[in-house]
Amino acid sequence: MRLVLCPYIIRPMNAEIISIGTELLLGHIVNTNTAFISQKLAEIGIDVYHQSVVGDNPKRIAESINKAASRSDIIITTGGLGPTVDDVTIETIASLLHKKLILNKTILKDLKDYFKLRRIKVPQESMRQAYIPEGIKWIRNKVGSAPALIADYKGKVIICLPGPPRELNRLVEDDIIPYVKKISGAPWVIRSRTIKIVGGAESQVNGKVKDLLALKPPTTVGIYAKLGEVELKIMTKDKSAVHAARSIARVENKIRARLKDQIFGCDDETIEGSVARLLTGKRMTIAVAESCTGGLVSDRLTDVPGSSKYFIMGLAAYSNDIKVNLLGVSPAAIQKYGAVSKIVAFQMAKGARFLACTDIGIGITGLAGPGGGTRSKPVGLVYIALVSGKKSIVKECRFSGSRKEIKFQASQAVLDLVRRQL
Amino acid sequence: MRLVLCPYIIRPMNAEIISIGTELLLGHIVNTNTAFISQKLAEIGIDVYHQSVVGDNPKRIAESINKAASRSDIIITTGGLGPTVDDVTIETIASLLHKKLILNKTILKDLKDYFKLRRIKVPQESMRQAYIPEGIKWIRNKVGSAPALIADYKGKVIICLPGPPRELNRLVEDDIIPYVKKISGAPWVIRSRTIKIVGGAESQVNGKVKDLLALKPPTTVGIYAKLGEVELKIMTKDKSAVHAARSIARVENKIRARLKDQIFGCDDETIEGSVARLLTGKRMTIAVAESCTGGLVSDRLTDVPGSSKYFIMGLAAYSNDIKVNLLGVSPAAIQKYGAVSKIVAFQMAKGARFLACTDIGIGITGLAGPGGGTRSKPVGLVYIALVSGKKSIVKECRFSGSRKEIKFQASQAVLDLVRRQL
């Protein structure tokens, strides 16, 4: 494998990604694997100049691999390693390498263990996955049944990965990136940092960091808008890790000075994770009463490992009876102001806190649509409330989008409200 | 343009998609355009055998277009039509066609109108967008500033589209698909139907429909595995819409006969939608008590518009106190069997039904991980229970994956349990 490192190659190595799957050509699924791999490769300084997609067709797969081998150092294929007859990647690789497919006993044992855990006998089709080209390197797939394969081909490296994103992501992060880093011996370090922002539109954030978005390499800033969130990604490339870290910090400080408490976290941090960290740190507990979000806030808070430390109860109080009988919302308030009102949000938060004996109580009521809106209470109107020992806050929010988008934005606003209070 | 329709081409036309943009190679954004275009082309019977991505680099763009022209009838490029200096698609096309870029006055007027509407003077950079290769066909972009371009090249058709999905989608639906349909003269209709299956691994489903997966065009079946779900997609191509519908129905009936009640729906239907339909039809109500899923089941049930008809309450009973005090779970049972046990799941379901006075009560308790597992109760062990007036069911399930994946699979199993009881 070290062949590709021969000393006359002084330029950095590059990689090419070939996604295999007729379902991609038909547009049945969106190709997220390619972006994931490319991003991880960029982080270790490996350039990707080509990405392509071919169907489960041996001739076209072979053509694509040959084309890639003529212009790229590392060829990564995704997909076509499954148990069914239309999965032909392994056969194609074997035929390109002029190698026989032979049964690998370790893979077979893994396969048996994998199905045993699921209490299923190894299906006949899946047995195919234990056959790999003779003498080839393979890597265990910890979350699926198809191992990854690595082979030398015409002086280049071919890496074959399974298509399901959850298996692929795990293999890329745990095994492939460390492996490529080792063989590429890239002389520089790439560092990036994503600053995560809530409570502002992309254009508002854009206006505050316009000069930074225009920065030229080696240090650049990109802006990415998501539902209810904006991300600023700082990237830099340097021969020294210390200098790279310094360049990132310089830009990060500028961003922090301008966006202040709109920033909730960095990199992989989520807003629920940031709330979790703050609650755990202050040894505080929380209970949530949700109407329009229907359990989404509880779901997000319990996505964080260890959430049982601070999350005591979530009540999706969809019917008015539950609001009244369990949370103690006053029927008169519902009668007079409606279930979607400031007072009901407040009484829900108070009721949740009382019922679960927590430090903080949260109440959410609104109209997620698509039906049910009126002129004075349109779809997207949401009231959120927070009650703690010290204070009570009720906020009116207005969102737009589909039912699920409104639910998500409301949950985002509630989590942001909790974060700011802590 | 009619050249490509010369009578000796009797095979159907095919298309190839080239996405242009360094941001795609860096993995900064996921390429959704390619799936969108491919799907729309498939619907009018145009096959796509290749999709590729190149950066904003004239040499590599030209190479990709030449390669595509050697093997495909229609070449669609996306991206690189923007106002900034790194957008080089138009210059590259002009140079391939040996044509000069000239100012198009109609496009210039459109551009001025576009910015006038936004109350901005046309930025100097944007003026570039009014220059197109001499004598080329162009299509107005109704929601952005870059028009689409259409050119003849080596007897093939090149179509250049802007990169922003909102602009691209509009152009594809309104203009490109009708145009391609016209030039391809495709005489057939394409029909598809997706059968959605729960409660079986991909390999198990595969084993039951192996012969159907091997069907050859015009009617084919594809299998797609998702977390906790398997999809079978039937596709057919026919000159008659009636015959196409009949071909689909024939295969669908076979699938239904073999997979029976593992099938929960078709096409865009979700399992929560199918539960909603059944509950509404039977005028039944439901309440959910969740521990490890933390609100996800409630969240999914309330994703369906009109869910207030049947969904009364969801309780994320994370702490044992809440289980005991609100749901009436017996402290002795928790003491003796643990919170993750059959009896606690059953008592939670019973308690939820009693508390909310519903027809059906659901209980879920388990270990979502990553910590907290033991030898006898590993991470992924989940008990689900359903209590109605007529019966009580408790099931033990074992899942693997991340915390979020275990939560999702548990919610899937619960929704499936409810569906089967209805």
Q: Name the average pLDDT for chain A.
A: 91
As to burial, measured by CB atoms within 10 angstroms (0-12 exposed, 13-18 middle, 19+ buried), residue A103 is: exposed
Q: What angle do CA B141, B147, B148 make, to 5 degrees?
A: 100
Residues B49 and B125 in one domain: yes
Is the Cβ of B400 closer than 8 Å to some Cβ of chain A?
yes
A13 shares its domain with A142: yes
Indicate which CATH number applies to the domain containing A9.
3.40.980.10
Q: What is the pLDDT of chain B when averaged over all its residues?
A: 91
Q: Are residues B97 and B220 in the same domain?
A: no
Interchain pair B39, A28: CB under 8 A: yes
Contacts of A55 in chain B (CB under 8 A): 49
Confidence of residue A8 (pLDDT cuts 50, 70, 90): very low
User: Which site among A236, A302, A323, A382 would you substitute to test the B interface, given the most B Cβ atoms closer than 10 Å to its Cβ?
Assistant: A302
Asked if residue A148 and residue A27 are part of one domain, the reply reads yes
Nearest CB among A57, A314, A371 relative to B305 is that of A371
Residue B292 CA to residue B364 CA, distance in Å, equals 7
- Does residue B9 have a pLDDT over 50? no
Pair (A387, A410) in one structural domain: yes
Q: Which of A135, A156, A184 is the last residue of a domain?
A: A184
- The whole-number average pLDDT for the span B131-144 is 92
| pLDDT at B245 (0 to 100) | 93
* pLDDT number for residue B287: 98
Q: Specify the pLDDT at position B5.
A: 41
Q: Is the pLDDT of residue A12 over 80?
A: no
Structural domain tally of chain B? 3
Question: Which is it for strands A286-290 and A360-366: parallel, antiparallel or unpaired?
Answer: parallel
Q: Average pLDDT of A94-109? A: 95
Does the pLDDT value for residue A71 go beyond 90? yes
Looking from the CA of A334 toward its CB, the CA atoms found within 13 Å total 17
- The residue of chain A with its CA nearest to that of B372 is A306
Q: Does A222 touch chain B (CB under 8 A)?
A: yes
CATH number for B195: 3.30.70.2860
Tokens (6 digits) for B265: 């729906």
User: Is it the case that residue B227 has pLDDT exceeding 70?
Assistant: yes
Predicted complex ipTM exceeds 0.95: no
- Taking an 8 Å cut-off on Cβ atoms, the answer to whether A28 and B224 are in contact is yes
Which pLDDT score is estimated for A13?
A: 87
Closest residue in A to B401 (Cα) is A143
Together in a domain, A162 and A194: no
Contact: A52, B55; criterion CB under 8 Å: no
Amino acid residing at B160: C
Q: What per-residue confidence (pLDDT) applies to A188?
A: 72
Q: What domain range includes position B388?
A: 271-421
Give the residue, B113 or A272, on which the prediction is more confident: A272
Same domain, B78 and B178: yes
Give tens-digit pLDDT for A145-169. Answer: 899 999 999 999 999 999 999 899 9
Pinpoint the alpha helices (H) of B260-390.
271-281, 296-301, 320-325, 331-337, 342-356
Q: Give which of A124, A161, A125, A147 is closest to A17, Cα–Cα.
A: A161
Distance, CA of B312 to CA of A89 (rounded, Å): 50
Q: How much of chain B exceeds pLDDT 90, in percent?
A: 72
Judge whether B277 and B391 are in contact, CB under 8 Å: no
Q: Please count the CA atoms within 13 angstroms of the CA of A397 that sit on its side-chain side.
A: 31
Q: A284 at the B interface (CB within 8 A)? A: no
What pLDDT digit, counting tens, does each position of B388-413 carry?
998 999 999 999 889 999 999 999 99
**Predicted confidence band at B126 (pLDDT cuts at 50, 70, 90)?**
confident
pLDDT digits (tens, 9 = 90+) for A216-242: 888 988 877 778 888 898 988 888 889
B80 and B226 assigned to the same domain: no
Show Cβ contacts of residue B106 under 8 Å, excluding neighbours closer than 6 positions: none
Its pTM stands at 0.78
User: How confident is the model over B330-350, as a mean pLDDT?
Assistant: 97
Rounded Cα–Cα distance for residues A184 and A170 (Å):
21
pLDDT-above-90 percentage for chain A: 71
pLDDT tens figures, A342-382: 999 999 999 999 999 999 999 999 999 999 899 999 999 99
Q: How far is B163 from B34, CA to CA, in rounded Å?
A: 10
Domain boundary among A184, A199, A214: A184
Is the predicted pLDDT of residue A114 greater than 90, yes or no?
no
Supply φ then ψ for residue B23, to 5 degrees.
-65, -25
- What is the amino acid identity at position A387? V
CATH of the domain at B412: 3.90.950.20
3-state SS of A328-382? CCCHHHHHHHCCCCHHHHHHHHHHHHHHHCCCEEEEEEECCCCCCCCCCCCCCEE
Out of B251, B266, B281, a domain closes at B266
Tell whether B37 and B169 lie within a shared domain. Answer: yes
**Neighbouring C-beta atoms of residue A216, cutoff 10 Å:** 6
Instruction: Answer yes or no: do B76 and B144 share one domain.
Output: yes
CA dist list (Å): A108 to A128, A170, B202, B335 = 9, 20, 18, 42
Q: Which two tokens stand for residue A100?
A: 């026989």
Instruction: Pick A143's closest partner by Cβ from B54, B55, B401.
Output: B401
- For residue B8, what pLDDT is reported? 41
Residue A201 pLDDT exceeds 80: no
Contact call for residues A165 and A36 (beta carbons, < 8 A): yes
What is the model's pLDDT at position B1? 35
Report the relative pairing of strands A381-387 and A392-398 from DSSP bridges: antiparallel
Q: Is the pLDDT of residue B259 over 60?
A: yes
- As a whole number of Å, the end-to-end CA separation of chain B is 58
* Number of neighbours of residue A358 by Cβ within 10 angstroms: 23
Whether chain A has a CB inside 8 Å of the CB on B51: the answer is yes
The model's confidence at residue A7, banded by pLDDT at 50, 70 and 90, is very low
A315 has a chain B CB within 8 A of its CB: yes
Q: Are residues A43 and A169 in the same domain?
A: yes
Judge if B125 and B224 occupy the same domain: no
SS3 labels along A124-179? HHHHHHHEEECCCEEECCCCCCCCEEEEEECCEEEEEECCCHHHHHHHHHHHHHHH
pLDDT class for A11, splitting at 50, 70, 90?
low
Q: How far is Cα A367 from Cα A377, in angstroms, rounded to an integer?
A: 8
Residue with tokens 């009708």: B178
